[in-house]
Amino acid sequence: MSFNPPEVAWGAIAPVLVVLGAAVLGVLVEAFVPQKVRRWTQFGLTMAALAGAAVALAALWPDTAPSSGGGVVALGGSMVLDRPAVILQGALVMLGLLSVLVIADRTDAGQDAFAPAGAAVPGSDYERLATSRGLAQTEVYPLVLFALGGMMIFPATGDLLTLFVALEVLSLPLYLLTGLARRRRLLSQEASVKYFLLGAFASAVLLFGIALLYGYSGSVRLSEIATTVGGAAGVDPMLVAGLVMLMVGLLFKVGAVPFHSWTPDVYQGAPTPITGFMAACTKIAAFGALLRVVYVVAAPLQWDLMPLLWAVAAVTMVVGTVVALVQTDVKRLLAYSSIAHAGFVLVGVVALQQSGVSGVLFYLVAYGLATVGAFGIVTLVREVNEGPGGATVAEATALTQWTGLGRRHPLLAVTFTLFLLSFAGIPLTAGFIGKYAVFSAVVAGGQAWLAVLGVLASAAAVFFYVWIVVLMFFKDPEPGVAETTTVVRSEGLTAVAVGIAAVGTVALGVLPSWLLDLLGNAAVFVR
């Protein structure tokens, strides 16, 4: 008997290997590198890994051309590297780079956004001792890389077991990172526990759906499940139940109603750089996986399964917009805004058109840029203790604290306004092009009512975005508020990330055709 070694397409999985390999090296750095140089070692390793992943993706791009078969099937079909997957991985690497800049930044007082000792009881002597010694949580970097590696696998999964493993690889580090905020420690730890418990429940539902789909088709491979679905004479209740449960797990990760209850608490409690990272990158990864499941497996069940997704998209747009109108905290407002945007992206998913796939990909890039930039700005707006020589403390997230900010810090306020206008879908921003792309796709798919509802929700959402602009530029602050809110100086890494995000938001709003053409030609999934 002879042994035939498996053939591994190393080039196809190289981007993921680079990121996860750097994460493992980051763990070793924590063990062996002296504390004084550990921070910059971790930062340099992380940036080098993401740059290397970007180079590997560029090298992989020609192999995904239609003339080359449209993609590479790797690891026996566990991963499918087609053009949608490579584009999504590229977006994750790009936004991961920007997020790491915000994560690594420190104020002029030498403080980052993370607790000096994550396992310490808030307010304990141990925590005060760690703070006084200037300890830093540099293990944040390998945790981010592990999460990003799972996110890169998620939209490229060719079978359901790999999908579940990728889900856990991306989720577990995020549960930990959520509880590491330097300030408001109890709120941060509460958010971490909520995220973990609800995430575990959603993962269990997804795993149950995988079991039902395996029972229906006898396989966990998406291509084989799709073949079984296409050859079936009728609709099997086990198939529908399995797909519904599978989608519940994915809809939880994108924050769609009614699986959104974790979003506002986690966004508010997590360290703000991690909030921006989660809001941008997790949504890209989860929607990538959802697109593959819908377009590869569920498309033949249009009239059996799609009405459920239509309802979820409609309710998500409405609930996210309406509840955001009454928020008084900027992080919670952006959380409900992200819920509404999940509904807008779902509109493109349910279009069941190739233009819907390209519209979703463009929307995710545009939303990710604005999200990382907006939360980066939130990290710089801080409270100051009253009295002479007051120290900078927690982030100023109450909307009243942003009153008059545009007069004292016009550049920061104008940049934040740009991101808000992109969220609102105002012309000449990337957000407008993204909304136009998904709404036009769903009209072409025969569901014009969803586009109408999306336009109405977008119009209503303009109110709370513009209200922040009015507070910053046209309202007088309450007595004493202006004196207790400031914009901190930092090492400049956040400014670089925000600047790149702002340029990208304007560039994709003014000159979007090159990216739309690229995505339009690449929006085909390979089984």
Q: Using CA atoms, how far apart are residues 440 and 453, in angstroms rounded to an integer?
A: 13
Output phi, psi for 43, to 5 deg.
Answer: -65, -45
Structural contact between residues 395 and 272, judged by C-beta atoms closer than 8 angstroms: yes
For the stretch 367-405, what's the b/e string if a residue is b when 16 or more beta carbons lie within 10 angstroms of its beta carbon?
bbbbbbbbbbbbbbbbbbeeeeeeebeebbbebebbbbb
Q: Using CA atoms, how far apart are residues 416 and 141, in angstroms rounded to an integer?
A: 26
Q: How many CB atoms lie within 10 A of CB 516?
A: 19
Report the helix count and the strand count for the chain, using DSSP H and E. 21, 5
Res 263: pLDDT? 92
Enumerate residue ranges in the chain where pLDDT < 70: 1, 3, 6, 121, 123, 126, 131-132, 134, 231-234, 385-393, 479-483
- Residues whose CB falls within 8 Å of the CB of residue 18, separated by 6 or more in sequence, listed in order: 49, 52, 53, 56
Number of domains in the chain: 1
Give the helix ranges, DSSP H, for 445-492: 448-474
DSSP secondary structure code for residue 295 in this structure: I
Q: Using CA atoms, how far apart are residues 314 and 56, in angstroms rounded to an integer?
A: 39
- Domain-located, residue 425: yes
- Domain-located, residue 2: no
Nearest residue to 361 (alpha-carbon basis) of 63, 70, 85: 85
Helix (H) or strand (E) holding 392: strand 392-395
Q: Using CA atoms, how far apart are residues 401 and 469, in angstroms rounded to an integer?
A: 13
- Residues whose CB falls within 8 Å of the CB of residue 425, separated by 6 or more in sequence, listed in order: 431, 432, 434, 435, 458
Distance (Å) of CA 220 to CA 148, 213, 244, 337: 24, 7, 16, 35
Six-digit token pair at 233? 């004479």
Res 389: pLDDT? 47
Six-digit token pair at 353? 């058109």
Res 233: pLDDT? 62
Six-digit token pair at 326? 């009454």
- Domain-located, residue 266: yes
Nearest residue to 253 (alpha-carbon basis) of 333, 183, 301, 199: 199
- Domain-located, residue 200: yes
- For residue 385, the SS3 value is coil
Q: Using CA atoms, how far apart are residues 209 and 203, in angstroms rounded to an integer?
A: 10
Amino acid at 419: F
Res 1: pLDDT? 58
Nearest residue to 419 (alpha-carbon basis) of 473, 475, 369, 492: 369
Put the strands of the sheet holding 381-384 in their side by side order.
392-395, 381-384, 485-487
- Domain-located, residue 527: no
- Domain-located, residue 4: no
Structural contact between residues 77 and 158, judged by C-beta atoms closer than 8 angstroms: yes
Six-digit token pair at 368? 């990710």
402 is in which domain, residue-wise?
10-522
Distance (Å) of CA 270 to CA 21, 119, 161, 336: 26, 15, 29, 15
Six-digit token pair at 179? 């509880």
